[in-house]
């Protein structure tokens, strides 16, 4: 009986070996693409968006590099205090932009993250309609795609 068990084990072992030999190899994992491979189509899209369309006549457009002007930053706390004061003076005629918004700091696009203290850099853009938030984003992504700013990203 022991011989029969050993024989049965041998048969099962040989069957397993045969299956393993005939089995398809496990698919090899594809290498993870480099960030450059991932970013290239995105950069190409941003490079195509190199013009600003006119609102009234979208067939006419202008090169973004000739149309963009630098931002003026206004500190949030200062801005909130001025707006609170203006609410109480709503019956008076509003003053000039400088009177309303106070001192501004001109900032180059390259330095927009300069005041960020955290490791993860974030900027929140707020402003009324038409002030240039979307144009800023379009300009920044275009310059990044050209390799002019933040090439380490």
Q: Which helix (H) or strand (E) holds 130?
A: none
Rounded to two decimals, the pTM is: 0.58
pLDDT band at 37 (very low <50, low <70, confident <90, very high): confident
Higher pLDDT, 135 or 85: 135
Spell 66-76 as b/e; 16+ CB within 10 A means b.
eebeebeebee
Question: Residue 18's pLDDT is what?
Answer: 84
Q: What does the chain come to in residues?
A: 153
d(CA 117, CA 111): 13
């Amino acid at each position: 009986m022991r011989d029969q068990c050993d024989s049965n084990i041998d048969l099962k072992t040989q069957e397993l070996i045969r299956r393993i030999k005939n089995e398809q190899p496990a698919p090899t994992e594809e290498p993870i693409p480099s960030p450059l491979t991932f970013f290239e189509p995105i950069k190409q899209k941003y490079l195509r968006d190199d013009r600003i369309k006119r609102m009234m006549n979208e067939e006419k457009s202008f090169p973004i590099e000739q149309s963009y002007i630098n931002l003026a930053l206004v500190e949030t706390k200062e801005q909130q205090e001025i707006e609170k004061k203006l609410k109480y003076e709503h019956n008076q005629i509003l003053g000039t932009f400088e009177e309303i918004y106070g001192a501004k700091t001109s900032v180059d696009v390259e330095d927009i993250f300069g005041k960020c203290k955290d490791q993860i850099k974030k900027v929140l853009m707020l402003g009324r309609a038409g002030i240039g938030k979307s144009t800023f984003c379009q300009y920044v992504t275009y310059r990044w795609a050209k390799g002019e700013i933040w090439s380490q990203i």
